[in-house]
Amino acid sequence: MQALRQVIPLNRKGGVALAVYFRGELVADLWMGLQQGATLWQEDTLSLSYSTGKGVLATLVHILVDKGYLDYDRPVREYWPEFGILGKENITLRHLLSHSSGLYDIRHVIHSAEMMLDWDAMLKAYEQAIPRFEPNSASAYQALSFGWLVGGVIEKVMQEPLAVTFERELVEPLGLTGEAYFGTPDTELERVARPYRKPPATHSNPPENSKPRSKAPPTLTATQSILKFFGQDPLDVRDALVPKKMGQFDLFSDDALQACMPAFNGVFSARALAKIYAVLAAGGEFEGKSYLSQKTMSQLATIQHRRRDRVMPISMSWRLGYHRVITMGKRVPNGFGHMGYNGSGAWCDPDRELSIAFVTSYSMDSMGGDPRFWWLSQRTLQLADKVINGRRGWL
């Protein structure tokens, strides 16, 4: 709890939750702050977790691979015939999971961000999409497209809505009913933490001598300058992250929370995320049940490539739906997970039999991860190492 308090901004309204599993046991289940308005964060509060949900969706894929419904290396067109055109004929599930399909663009695929609320329309849009490079010839983070690409494959092969498969194959077996959603039911909306938004100031009359501000010409932001410095094209980042009319899209509206946009609008409790990764930390065997075979575990945890990503500004070491663990010093060479744009994140370390999840209603707005979560990860690893070998250490 002390480490959690250290990362809470004292001058901002919002809340956080943290959960940790160690050696198969839930050893931390903490929350603090505000859910929304003046409502305190509760034990059952849920949080929109942005890209942290990609790791959950990938875990569902691996369960379906284990059961024989999917194969990493079969062309997607065999499951989804309408997909296999316009240069997508040889794209496999492995390419989609490892962000090497070339289908990272959304800006030129749809005409408006509002279209993202329509699941069927988005699947049709990616049926007509053209990859930006040959499969496995480069790496580009499918920041928004991942959910429709991977979720679309699942829906086509299972012949039912993604939410139904997700509930039956992952949520119910792990006892997570009511704690994990891709598309939040309207009955659960009041449990979702939403960011505090200060009402805009109103003035009956403009201040004296004030002049209307002219719109400044577009300039390179600091982030864009950094991307250029490291050899990335800011337009690639824009194309992956910013569909047209995104400024008019409210991700926390009821419509958006209820829609299925699994790359970035999964809603979870920290406890649910930590338990999903606890299964992976345990090698697929958890609480006396087998969820994943050793063969599938070996595949999903293997680094697929170490290429510089066209969209992400840091090295990712992509696995099949997961990336490397980021800390402030501790090494986790065999760990993997996924972080989210708002500072949320979840990961596991099979070597330590450890998993951690952090969700928040604060916004970090960072593609490179949240230093708050890095710090919590570092402290958690230190405490685990104290139990395992008697010393915390920094590295």
The enclosing domain of 267 has a CATH number of 3.40.710.10
Asked if residue 240 is part of any domain, the answer here is: yes
pLDDT for position 211 = 38
Asked if residue 283 is part of any domain, the answer here is: yes
pLDDT for position 368 = 57
pLDDT for position 37 = 79
pLDDT for position 195 = 83
pLDDT for position 223 = 57
Asked if residue 304 is part of any domain, the answer here is: yes
pLDDT for position 213 = 38
Asked if residue 219 is part of any domain, the answer here is: no
The boundaries of the domain holding residue 139 are: 2-194+236-389
Task: Say how many domains are in the chain.
Answer: 1
Asked if residue 332 is part of any domain, the answer here is: yes
Q: What is the pLDDT along the chain (395 residues), one digit of tens a residue?
A: 666 666 665 556 789 999 999 999 999 999 998 898 788 999 999 999 999 999 999 999 999 999 999 999 999 999 999 999 999 999 999 999 999 999 999 999 999 999 999 999 999 999 999 999 999 999 999 999 999 999 999 999 999 999 999 999 999 999 999 999 999 999 999 999 988 665 544 444 444 444 333 333 334 465 566 666 666 789 999 999 999 999 999 999 999 999 999 999 999 999 999 999 999 999 999 999 999 999 999 999 999 999 999 999 888 999 999 999 988 899 999 999 999 988 899 999 999 999 999 999 876 665 556 778 888 999 999 999 999 999 888 88
Asked if residue 78 is part of any domain, the answer here is: yes
pLDDT for position 198 = 57
Asked if residue 227 is part of any domain, the answer here is: no
How many CB atoms lie under 10 A from the CB of residue 150?
Answer: 24
Asked if residue 221 is part of any domain, the answer here is: no
